[in-house]
Amino acid sequence: MGIVYHGAGKFDGGFNENAYQGGQRAARELGVTVNDFEAPDPSQIIEGLRAFARNGFDLTISLGIASAGSVRAAASEFPGLKFGLTEAPAPQPNVTSLTFRQEEGAYLIGFLAASQSATGVVGFVGGMHVPLTRRYEAGYRAGALAARPGVQVIAQYLGTTPDAWNNPAKAKEVAAGMRARGADILFTAAGSSGNGVIDYVNQTQCLSAAGLPPGVIFGRRPYASVPKSARYRAACAGDTSPLFFVGVDRNQNPRGDTDGDPATLNHGLSSLLVRADRGIYTMIREARQGRLRGGTRSLGLAEGGVEYAVDRYNAALIPSALRVRLETLRGRIIRGDLKVPSQ
């Protein structure tokens, strides 16, 4: 088995690393060998696919929409071998495509963000402007408006080429601009670029009433009772309110623990988990058992493909009554009673 990674590689702290963990689980539990190929540039993806195929690998998986063209080409060149692809379809019968209904999880994240925003302004930082990323925005916006009809959702994308997934410096600039407009919760769906948002939030820590734009105020104080570190109190003295990020793909909540104490205010409000690890493991297992079939699979809340993270780092940030509401919404989405827009 082989997995081809691009962009920031297999230890990107996000989607790629999730997929890597799925491959490692398969190696441990199924006794298969999983080889890796890292392609910093999308043009190199085809090299990895061909290298694995020429060695007769049972299954070669490549990650992300930037891989789609290369996977389709390799699948046509090697029709007797099986290939896997994430986040994009492929017409060949020897390709299994794994997609996620990110909008379902993003709806819950949007509901959470709008409910807990002190300013009533929340932000969305997207990577490449493609339908995949717009699914995140659509769900986030719908959930935010459902929780708080007057909320302002600011959305900005980092570009129209694959470079947008790996530009943390630009993401940091965008985060600063959103904070200047009063956004106190920033949801990032931008691949490795999201590291720039997380860094900015951790470094800046809060908004001040004096720095809010006209018409924006601290209308709520949802974190007044959450213990604060001495560092936070010193940096954010006076009339201030905390700044938060929402991570993506993996649980990035611990990255908001700037003082090493989960009991004090954490700057990671939550994370939208996209369980590529589960999808990749299942794909490899079925290939190992000789029952992997081509076609597209879609994983959402019902299949455990997307989730939102609650742990010791952010438990104090989400009131119990709000958690009950989120679980009710989750159930409605799974049953089909609540339809979440995808664009």
Secondary structure element (H or E) that encloses residue 312, with its range: none
% of the chain at pLDDT higher than 90: 96
* Residue 28 CB partners (closer than 8 Å, separation 6+): none
Under 8 Å between Cβ of 152 and 184: no
Pull the structure tokens for residue 253.
């909540």
Indicate the pLDDT class of residue 13, thresholds 50, 70 and 90: confident
**Sequence-distant (≥ 6) Cβ neighbours of residue 149 within 8 angstroms:** none
Within this chain, domains 2-100+275-299 and 102-274+310-335 share the same CATH topology:
yes
Q: For the stretch 16-32, what's the b/e string if a residue is b when 16 or more beta carbons lie within 10 angstroms of its beta carbon?
A: bbbbbbbbebbbeeeeb
230 pLDDT band, cuts 50/70/90, is very high
pLDDT of 235:
96
Nearest to 71 by CA among 19, 17, 4, 16: 4
Q: Which of 3.40.50.2300, 1.10.10.10, 3.40.30.10, 3.40.50.300 would CATH assign to domain 2-100+275-299?
A: 3.40.50.2300
- Residue range 50-68: mean pLDDT, rounded: 95
Give the residue from 268, 275, 267, 269 showing the smallest Cα distance to 250: 275
| Side-chain half-sphere exposure of 219, counting CA atoms within 13 A | 14
* Amino acid (one-letter) located at 175: A
Q: State the pLDDT at residue 40.
A: 86
Mean pLDDT over 34-50 rounds to 95
| pLDDT of amino acid 296 | 96
CATH of domain 102-274+310-335: 3.40.50.2300
Average pLDDT of every residue of the chain: 97
Question: What 3-state DSSP class applies to 332?
Answer: helix
pLDDT in tens, 79-128: 999 999 999 999 999 999 999 999 999 999 999 999 999 999 999 999 99
Q: Which phi and psi angles does 36 have, rounded to 5°?
A: -115, 145
Could you give the residue ranges of the DSSP H alpha helices within the chain?
15-30, 45-54, 68-77, 102-116, 131-147, 168-180, 194-204, 230-235, 276-288, 320-335
Task: Give residue 221's pLDDT band: very low, low, confident or very high (50, 70, 90).
Answer: very high
DSSP letter, residue 173: H
pLDDT at residue 7 above 90? no
Question: Could you tell me what percent of the chain has a pLDDT over 70?
Answer: 100
Does position 4 have pLDDT exceeding 90, yes or no? yes
CB-based contact 195:13 (threshold 8 Å):
yes
Q: Is the pLDDT at 9 greater than 90, yes or no?
A: no
Q: pLDDT at position 276, please? A: 96
pLDDT value of position 6? 86
pLDDT in tens, 149-196: 999 999 999 999 989 999 999 999 999 999 999 999 999 999 999 999
Task: Provide the residue type at 272 as one letter.
Answer: L
Rounded-to-integer distance, Cα 122 and Cα 312, Å? 23
Higher-pLDDT residue of 7, 224:
224
> What pTM, to 2 d.p., does this model score?
0.95
Question: What single string gives the DSSP state of each residue in 242-305?
Answer: E-EEEEEES--GGGG-TTS-TTS--SEEEEEEE-HHHHHHHHHHHHHTT----EEEEE-TTTTS
Cα gap 267→245, rounded to integer Å = 6
pLDDT at position 331 is: 98
Tokens coding 87: 């986040």
pLDDT attached to residue 41: 87
Structure confidence at residue 263 (pLDDT): 95
The contacts of residue 17 (CB under 8 Å, 6+ apart) are 10, 11, 249, 250
For range 202-222, the mean pLDDT: 98
pLDDT at 224 over 90: yes
Confidence of residue 78 (pLDDT cuts 50, 70, 90): very high
12: confidence class by pLDDT, cuts 50, 70, 90: confident
What residues does each domain of the chain span? 2-100+275-299, 102-274+310-335
- In tens, the pLDDT along 244-300 reads 999 999 999 999 999 999 999 999 999 999 999 999 999 999 999 999 999 999 999
Residues 267-279 have pLDDT tens digits of 999 999 999 999 9
Q: Is 8 a residue whose pLDDT tops 90? A: no
Beta strands 121-128 and 152-159: pairing type?
Answer: parallel
Torsion sign across C-alpha atoms 204, 215, 126, 146: positive
